[in-house]
Amino acid sequence: MKKFLVIFIAVALLAGCGSQGGDTEERTPVDIDMTQMSVTMVSAQAAQLEFNPTAHLGQVVRIRGSHYTFYWEMFQANIHYIVLDLTVGCCGAAFEFILSDELIETVGYPPHGAIIEIVGTYKYYEVANETFHFFAVTEITVKE
């Protein structure tokens, strides 16, 4: 009986290692996939993007967080951010993102507070002698 039980458990464990089907969607290749990182690693990667942005220019990143918008009077424009909930440490991290023209026409910006996943290239622009870094988004998915 013990031998049967050991074999049964081994087969059950091995069966659990196979593909579960379901999410067969092809994912766009990226340089950095923050959706596959632990919270600690996401926090470290967010710090790298914030404090050493030029090292990441041109990299394609997949990131998940909450969408927030605010109107910046100085530029007379809505600014869109993806805010990461980093339960490690004291704070979260926020990154500006701009949808491609095609995405603006087809899906538009998601509702304020929506959980989103984006794929975008890390870039910058300059306004009034200030440099701003952002993700130029080519894919966006509303998760909730």
User: Is there a domain that residue 37 lies in?
Assistant: yes
Structural domain including 61 reads 29-142
Task: Supply the pLDDT for residue 91.
Answer: 67
For the full predicted model, state whether its pTM sits above 0.85: no
CATH of the domain at 90: 2.40.50.140
User: Is there a domain that residue 106 lies in?
Assistant: yes
User: Is there a domain that residue 8 lies in?
Assistant: no
User: Is there a domain that residue 6 lies in?
Assistant: no
Task: Supply the pLDDT for residue 1.
Answer: 40
Looking at the 3D structure of the chain, how many domains does it have? Answer: 1
pLDDT per position in the chain (144 positions), as tens? 443 333 333 333 333 333 333 444 678 899 999 999 988 899 899 999 999 999 999 999 999 999 999 998 988 889 999 998 776 555 678 999 999 999 999 999 999 999 999 999 999 999 889 999 999 999 999 986
User: Is there a domain that residue 59 lies in?
Assistant: yes
Write out the chain in H/E/C secondary structure: CHHHHHHHHHHHHHHCCCCCCCCCCCCCCCCEEHHHCCHHHHHHHHHHHHHCHHHHCCCEEEEEEEEEEEEECCCCEEEEEEEECCCCCCCCEEEEEEECHHHHHHCCCCCCCCEEEEEEEEEEEEECCEEEEEEEEEEEEECC
User: Is there a domain that residue 63 lies in?
Assistant: yes
